[in-house]
Amino acid sequence: MSVDDNTPVLRGCIKLPLATDELLEVTAKAKDYAIMHGAAMRSKTNFSPDSLNFAPFVLVPSSFPRKEFEKAIALQPIINRLMHNVAHDEEFITTTLAETIKVDEFTANLFNIYRKVLAHGFTQRISLGMLRSDLMLESRCPELSPLLDSSAGGGDDDDVDADVEEQEQRRAKDAKAKTKTKANPAKVGGCTSSAYCCWKQVEINTIASGFGHLGPASKTIQSFVLRELGHAEKLQRMPKNDALAGLCDGMVKAWDIYAKPQAVILFIIEEVSYNICDQRFHEFYIRETYPHIKVLRRTLTEVHRDGKLGQHKELLLGSTEVAVIYFRAGYEPGHYPSQGEWDARYLMETSLAIKCPSIHYHLAGTKKVQQALAQPSVLERFINDPEEMKAVGKIFTGLYSLDDNEAGNANYEMALRTPEKFVLKPQREGGGNNVYGLDIPDALKRMSRVERSAWILMDLIHPPLSQGYMVRPGSAMPPQIVDMVSELGIFGVVIGDAEHIVHNYQAGHMLRTKLSTANEGGVAAGLGALDSPYLIDSDDEDGYY
Ligand code: ADP
Ligand code: MG
């Protein structure tokens, strides 16, 4: 929806279309390859715990600029530290969420747990953060890419009032810019490519950051496809991705810190896990690499039934002690069908187990906190180094509060005036909760002034397009070429307490790609497809890579 006729197109990895016979054959092979390598999910429409469907995937990797990819990778440890500092700033979390928790019951419930834990003191001071910073390339950066800035329908205030002739002139100029972008990245305003100029953070996840397995698995499928198509030489442009190992090793490092050989790692799971491969492969990796460490899977309901605290506040499930809790559930209201599940969450928070995330990390990942952090004066509080401040400051797109005060009300008016520029977000995770563009005014008008403060407003990011084949279970064969946009996620692991960080590293990546017409691209939610980056350089020769 953030795409229009003038959206630039990134050059593809190989020349398309493929001949129909070749396409049919390689797609059929790739589907089997995906199922047989665990790039799969349980069917939602035809659920059975005994079978899997392949997860939707893009046949060949989508292009992503190497420079921007490397920038994102390099920045991750700084983002890890930022989030660690935010999570440990009681005053900041409390003030930032003060208005939100008055109206958002779910965040208020999380906050109550936080408040109670604060009152009694943290039993476990160490936290395990396994974060994923999600980002999209931005193709409309006014200061860097003036040629593309004037895209028709871009929602610029001036565009609305521009007369017809002026609009025509702009359209002609834009069309020229687009052609340039497709065939030959132009040097514009110091920015080497006009298909993108930078990337912007979509959100930061601090709980249940998925795709540690499916990220690397996507590369495996697409490498297979490229080899089958006779393009083995392209594989060198697909960056290595050790996300599964990086994340699981994080859990094991936390387990080591806990230092009790008999204690286990507990995965908190939903009643039904559709995205089962992305959890089981973590478990299997730990069991195969560290056979002395046991992994349990339990729902919040089961922890409520079987969990208790031992003498030293250790978390016991029956007689089994838990060293590390990895939450793959607990991030949305549906995961807490009764007070029992909230009690279980509180029990775990007060225990000695190391939590991923602990409650303060969970709260640090709310959209409201992201919105507050986007203000430079706030960022200063958490980052000392001016260069780092500058680098992190640049990744935020416009984020606006809708609190019931002067600034919030001005932002509300702005959203009503130019809704096509924005996305409206509540304090929720897991996809499907946001309101986009022209739907925003109705949604906002239905809320009271106070209710609005549970939401934030964000500038829409306009990623460039890529073109390729999206392969979905049950869809017509052969697949058709479609316009798509991608979202890159960079994983980070950070372990420490309020005073010290003991581990901090970047832990691989994942790429999700959706149809350019879709608002959201959750793969588990059924809208996106697995993908992996094919790194392109701005000084590459014209044509396909
Ligand atoms: P959730 O916590 O539900 O995953 P996100 O903030 O990640 O919420 O939004 C869900 C999806 O909506 C993203 O994966 C992305 O596809 C789209 N989206 C979110 N924010 C923006 C934005 N500012 N511009 C364009 N698309 C966005
Ligand atoms: Mg998201």
**CA-based nearest residue to 494, from 73, 128, 125:** 128
Q: List the residue whose alpha carbon is closest to atom 4 of ligand 1.
A: 431
**CA-based nearest residue to 511, from 488, 528, 492:** 488
Mean pLDDT of 502-528: 88
Measured from the CB, is residue 521 less than 6 Å from ligand 1? yes
Which ligand is closest in space to the CA of residue 202? Answer: 1
Separation of CA 270 and ligand 2 centre (Å): 18
Measured from the CB, is residue 68 less than 6 Å from ligand 1? no
Separation of CA 57 and ligand 2 centre (Å): 18
Percent of the chain with pLDDT over 70: 88
**Is 53 known to sit in a ligand binding site?**
no
Q: List the residue whose alpha carbon is closest to atom 3 of ligand 1.
A: 431
Mean pLDDT of 449-457: 95
Separation of CA 358 and ligand 2 centre (Å): 19
- Distances in Å between the Cα of 474 and the Cα atoms of 26, 54, 55, 224 are 16, 10, 11, 22
Measured from the CB, is residue 485 less than 6 Å from ligand 1? no
Give the nearest ligand 1 atom to 520 CA: 16
Angle of CA points 150, 152, 154, to nearest 5°: 75
Residues of the chain within CATH 3.40.50.1760 domain(s) are 64-140+195-216+239-388+481-539
Residues of the chain within CATH 3.30.1490.50 domain(s) are 398-460
**Is 461 known to sit in a ligand binding site?**
yes
Q: Please, which pLDDT band fits residue 53 given cuts at 50, 70 and 90?
A: very high
Which ligand is closest in space to the CA of residue 423? Answer: 1
**Is 121 known to sit in a ligand binding site?**
no
Measured from the CB, is residue 430 less than 6 Å from ligand 1? yes
pLDDT digits (tens, 9 = 90+) for 159-176: 323 333 333 344 344 433
Measured from the CB, is residue 487 less than 6 Å from ligand 1? yes
Q: Residues of 108-117 as b/e, b for ≥16 C-beta within 10 angstroms?
A: bbbbebbeeb
Residue 6: predicted pLDDT: 79
To the nearest whole number, what is the mean pLDDT of the chain?
90
Separation between Cα atoms, residue 263 and residue 289, nearest integer Å: 17
Could you name the CATH architecture of 398-460? 2-Layer Sandwich (3.30)
Amino acid at 532: S
CATH code: domain 64-140+195-216+239-388+481-539 is 3.40.50.1760
**CA-based nearest residue to 210, from 471, 427, 491, 473:** 491
527 or 325: which carries more pLDDT confidence? 325
